[in-house]
Amino acid sequence: MIKKLLLVIFFTVAVVTAGSYSGVASAAESDSVRLKNNTAQYQKVNSVIQFATLLTVGAVWLSIVVFLRSRKRSFVYVLLFTVFYVYLYKVIDYTLLQYQSLLVLKHFVPDLMLNGIQQGKTINLAPLITLTAADLQTSLLNILLFIPFGVGLPFITDWHKKQVFIAGVLLSVSIELLQLVTGLLGHITFRVADINDVLFNTLGTMAGYLLFISIVRIVRRAYGGTKKLPANPLVQHIIERPQL
């Protein structure tokens, strides 16, 4: 009698355990399928967004180049503008598109899991006070990021120090505001809108402008000033800069 009872209990436990394992396996398999579908959808939408972005950037560049050529701008000017244009795109891509675009993807892929900075920690308005030793590398990168802006802008415009300074501030503030707005709209962000970023970006802009002045002076001395221009059109363009 006891043996039969033990056999019944053992059989019941075995059936329940098998059912539990089956349920867990089924749930795990379902999660795996959902993850694969989510990844495939993410890759598809991300590819479309990247293609649309590059197409738009390319179309805008082509339109501007056509306009510049219609205004009889030289090949050297168009070349310098193109380099500066690509640089600006890479800045926006690094500071906004690579990360904040995931917030756009979230609307197309609702199950997409994002590990960013939660809302409420997306802004810092205290300059320099909150900086730590770990922030020094980021601050240096912010300076280096905007040095090409201070160098390149005077080569394609007649703007002097004040205008370049204002342009650098406006670009940096615009980037930080877009990071803040996209973070608020998405309730999560990958970038903190930080006043320190604006300060160090502006410092990089002015360092770049000083480098531009140095380049022009070195080239002028090397070619004997502005009286007799060399045949090289790029060198001519540098020597003829009106900022000094």
87, pLDDT greater than 90: yes
Indicate whether 73 belongs to any domain.
no
180 inside domain: yes
Decide if pLDDT at 23 tops 50: no
Contacts made by residues 86-89, CB under 8 angstroms, sequence distance 24+: 87/148, 87/149, 87/152, 88/149, 89/57
Sequence length of the chain is: 244
Is a pLDDT exceeding 60 seen at residue 16? no
Q: How confident is the model at residue 1 (pLDDT cuts 50, 70, 90)?
A: low
* pLDDT for the residue 110: 64
What digits encode the pLDDT tens for the residues 89-106? 999 998 888 776 666 666
The C-alpha atoms of residue 76 and residue 217 are separated, in whole angstroms, by 19
Element (H, E) at 189: strand 188-189
Residue range 125-175, pLDDT digits in tens: 878 887 777 778 888 999 999 999 999 999 999 999 999 999 999 999 999
| Residues β-bridged to residue 124 | 194
- Please state, in angstroms and rounded to a whole number, the distance separating the CA atoms of residues 13 and 10: 5
pLDDT at residue 161 in the model: 96
Rounded CA-CA distance 139/204 in Å is 10
Whether residue 205 is contained in a domain is answered as yes
Total structural domains in the chain?
A: 1
Q: What is the pLDDT of residues 179-232, one digit of tens each?
A: 888 777 766 666 778 898 999 999 999 999 999 999 999 999 998 877 778 889
| pTM metric for this prediction | 0.78
Tell which residue, 57, 62, 50, has the closest CA to residue 88: 57
More confident residue, 12 or 224: 224
**Residue 97: its pLDDT value, please?**
82
User: Does some domain include residue 79?
Assistant: no
Rounded distance between C-alpha atoms, residue 89 and residue 42, angstroms: 23
Element (H, E) at 117: strand 117-118
Q: Mark 77-92 as b/e (b = at least 16 C-beta within 10 Å).
A: bbebbeebbeebbebb
106 belongs to a structural domain: no
**Residue 124 lies in domain:** 116-244
Tell me the per-residue pLDDT of 25-79, one tens digit each, with 9 for 90 and over: 444 456 566 656 666 666 776 777 788 888 999 999 999 999 999 999 999 999 9
- Would you say residue 130 lies in a domain? yes
Integer angstrom CA distances of residue 112 from 33, 40, 89, 109, 224: 14, 11, 26, 5, 62
